[in-house]
Amino acid sequence: MSGIEIQSCPACAKTWYLPRQLCPGCGHAGPETRPASGQGTVWSVTRVERAPDETFRAIAPYLIALVDLAEGPRVMAHLTAPAPIGAQVTGEVRDIAGRALPVFSPR
Amino acid sequence: MTAPASHIRASHVLGAHVTPFGKLEGSSTVSLMTEAAQGALDAAGLQRSDIDGLICGYSTALPHLMLATVFSEHFGLRPNYAHAIQMGGGTGAGMLMLGDALIRAGEAHTILVVGGENRLTGMSRDAAVQTLAQVGHPKAESPLGATIPAYYALTAARYLHETGASQADLAELAVLMRRLASDTPGAQLTAPIAVDDVLGSKTIADPLKLMDCCPISDGGAAVILSAEPGEGPGMRIIGAGQAHTHQHISEAPDDICLGAKLASARAFERAGASVADMGYLAVYDSFTVTLALLLEALGVCAPGQAGKDAAAGRFARMGDLPLNTHGGLLSYGHCGVAGAMAHFVEAWRQMTGRAGPRQIAGEPALGLYHGDGGVLSSHVSLILERTS
């Protein structure tokens, strides 16, 4: 699997990415955590040239995108290569600058 | 002296002041708040003892649990009501909305609203960038090496994609703010720029260039609101509204500036006015795209047209609808809370005929002030009315 995890609500079927103990839609207290397929579509993308610190200055410039997962939630991730808005991408959790981060590549 | 609360329909601006913005060596959060507060008292012709309420914001250079009482003690106030609030870039507008609500509720009669911070000289540029990046999610966004400009660049890329506007269109907004700042005393950036200068400046986070971004500044600003009008031309707050659609851009609605539509609709409803009635605009402009998105969400411009409207002179000082005539965050400067308050101070000066040689031509009866915090997350709209 991709290593990317999402949450979903067994009561109202809402899905989301940022972890919570309650469904932000209906308030159900038992959201389920499940793996995402890693398939997605680029919603927006930027090439960061001014990095915030030494860690990221070492790999700048780098691409950051908002990717709409096939399961629904929107995820912020790195891109390995330029991909325009609307492009199909495939991703997984990978090591970037010593951190486990979601990383997508054009399909 | 205090009128019954039920009779107070709007709070009046008695005085306002903004310090110069820029690199102010030796300044501190408290010294800038002091300079701004004293300037506002002087403009209003009031004494410290006239102030019974104090609202302040936050300072990234001086994080404190109780900034309002730190300042109150330093400045020599004994307010009946005092605290700080935090809404990112929306803080200035949020403080003014709260002050108006407190006055209308009868909780205070005369409220000092003040912000100030030595954000430029008080911390390193990296520290400022990293502090501000906390607006992002601590696990799912900030660790990716994302910054505030990167978050706004994601909105910009999407804006350009959806509307067909160009980077040159966005650049027009930076050019306009610089032109307005060029003869504003106290502005941080005053050297004239052209669209090509913006497009040729270094990329920060594509498609945003350096000149699409506001500078980091030291500065302060203060406003005094009261239950009763002062002498001469005045201004009052006749409508206010907020909307909070998300914190993190990852969870923003597809209509990314929806909050501005919701907040302004509430403000317009209370004021019994519409955007077409506005004769002056004071709109948050942390990046060129912020200003474009807000102007379009507020209904001032058609989608994708904000930059073209600016290029056509619509928002010039002598244009149909003057906008941020001090030069905005993009050129007057951005020191945090007070940065967005400067727009309000300028609106008060222009709408009450106090802008001197920079005075706009018309005498607008109504104006719109809009602030946003986070990544188009928290929105506050105020409707301003000139009183004679």
In this complex, the residue of B144, B158, B206 whose CB is nearest that of residue A47 is: B206
Chain B CB contacts of A50 under 8 Å are 129, 147, 149, 204-205
Q: Mean pLDDT over all residues of chain B?
A: 95
Alpha-carbon distance A77 to nearest alpha carbon in chain B (angstroms): 7
pLDDT at B3: 47
What is the identity of the amino acid at A97?
Answer: A
pLDDT at B68: 97
Task: Please provide the CATH number assigned to the domain covering B5-123+217-226.
Answer: 3.40.47.10
Q: Which of A6, A47, A76 to mutate to test the interface with B (most CBs of B within 10 A)?
A: A76
- For residue B352, the Cα-to-chain-centroid distance in whole angstroms is 18
pLDDT at B6: 52
Q: B384 Cβ partners below 8 Å, 6+ apart? A: B235, B236, B237, B238, B280, B347, B348, B351, B366, B367, B368, B369
Chain B CB contacts of A77 under 8 Å are 144
Q: Looking at chain B, which residue has its C-alpha nearest residue A46?
A: B206
- For residue A87, the Cα-to-chain-centroid distance in whole angstroms is 15
Please choose, from the candidates B216, B168, B197, the residue with its C-alpha nearest in 3D space to the C-alpha of residue B24.
B216
Burial A24-62 (b: 16+ CB within 10 A, else e): eeeeeeebeeeebebbbbbbbbbbbbbbbeeebeeeeeb
CA distance A90 to A67: 10
Domain locations in chain B as residue ranges = 5-123+217-226
pLDDT at B161: 98
In this complex, the residue of A18, A59, A77 whose CB is nearest that of residue B248 is: A18
pLDDT digits (tens, 9 = 90+) for B336-372: 999 999 999 999 999 999 999 999 998 899 999 999 9
Token pair of B306 as six digits: 């904000």
pLDDT digits (tens, 9 = 90+) for B304-332: 999 999 999 999 999 999 999 999 999 99
Q: Which domains does chain A have, with CATH numbers?
A: 5-106 (2.40.50)
pLDDT at B135: 85
pLDDT digits (tens, 9 = 90+) for A25-83: 999 999 999 999 999 999 999 999 999 889 999 999 999 999 999 999 999 999 999 99
pLDDT at B23: 96
pLDDT at B13: 98
pLDDT at A76: 98
Residues of chain B with pLDDT under 70: 1-7
| B154/A45 Cβ within 8 A | yes
Given a cut of 60, whether residue A85 has pLDDT beyond it is: yes
| B146/A49 Cβ within 8 A | no
